[in-house]
Homo-oligomer: A and B are copies of this chain.
Amino acid sequence: MPIHDITLTITPSLPVWPGDPPVNLPQPARMDRGDVYNLTRIDISAHTGTHLDAPAHFIAGGAGVETLDLNVLIGPSLVVDTGDADALTADVLASLPIPAGTQRVLFKTRSSELWNRSEDVFVEDFVAVTGDGAQWLVDRGVRLVGVDYLSVAPFDDPVPCHRILLAAGVIPVEGLDLRVIAPGEYQLICLPIKIGGSDGAPCRAVLIG
Contact = CB atoms under 8 A, between A and B. Distances in A.
Interface of A: 3, 5, 7-11, 20-21, 25, 28, 31-32, 36-47, 49-50, 56-58, 60, 66, 70-71, 74, 158-159, 162, 189, 191-204, 206
The A interface is mostly helix, strand or loop, or mixed, namely mixed
A38 B11 CA distance: 23
- The 3 lowest CB-CB distance pairs between A and B, nearest first, are A191-B204, A11-B196, A40-B46
A57 B198 CA distance: 27
Contact of A158 (B36, B198, B202): B36
A194 B5 CA distance: 10
A98 B158 CA distance: 52
B40 A199 contact: yes
